[in-house]
Structure 1
Amino acid sequence: MMLKEQITQELEKLPEPLLQEILDFVQFLQAKYQKDKTLEITIMSESSLQKDWLRPEEDSAWQDL
């Protein structure tokens, strides 16, 4: 039996009030996963853009702001 099928079968046994808690938890996990992925992409972008940020031309362009 596949994991999704097993989860679905277990969900069918739960009373309605618990289903709301399950939904809340699933949404929490989705938000956490998205936040982790966003952070990972940001970190990867930093390292690839670092060579551009550290140029003297960049320093002079931003010094009057």
Structure 2
Amino acid sequence: MTLRIKDLLLVKIEVASESTLKEVLDFLLFLEAKETQEEQLEISFLSEASLADYWLTPEEDEAWQHL
């Protein structure tokens, strides 16, 4: 019988020490944050093209000229 990755992780979690569990949790939170950041960056790139019509106008250039 082949265990799925999630099942194998659960088996390992049951026997892991508290310090190992803390490291695993920290790593999982890091991966989650990294994934979220990558998704947000992708959304920014995708929206840039659609917003360019509004941003790249003489009126916008004038409005931001003082900065």
TM-score range, shorter chain: 0.7 to 0.9
Count, aligned residues: 65
CA positional deviation for 1:60: 2.2
Residue equivalent to 1:16: 18
Residue equivalent to 1:56: 58
Tell me how far apart the structure 1 counterparts of residues 12 and 32 of structure 2 sit (CA, whole Å).
20
Q: Match of 1:62, as an amino acid? A: W
Identity %: 45
Moved over 3 A (4+): none
Tell me how far apart the structure 1 counterparts of residues 47 and 8 of structure 2 sit (CA, whole Å).
39
Structure 2 gap segments, 5+ residues each: none
SS at match of 1:63: coil
Structure 1 gap segments, 5+ residues each: none
**CA RMSD after TM alignment:** 1.5
Q: Match of 2:18, as an amino acid? A: E
Residue equivalent to 1:28: 30
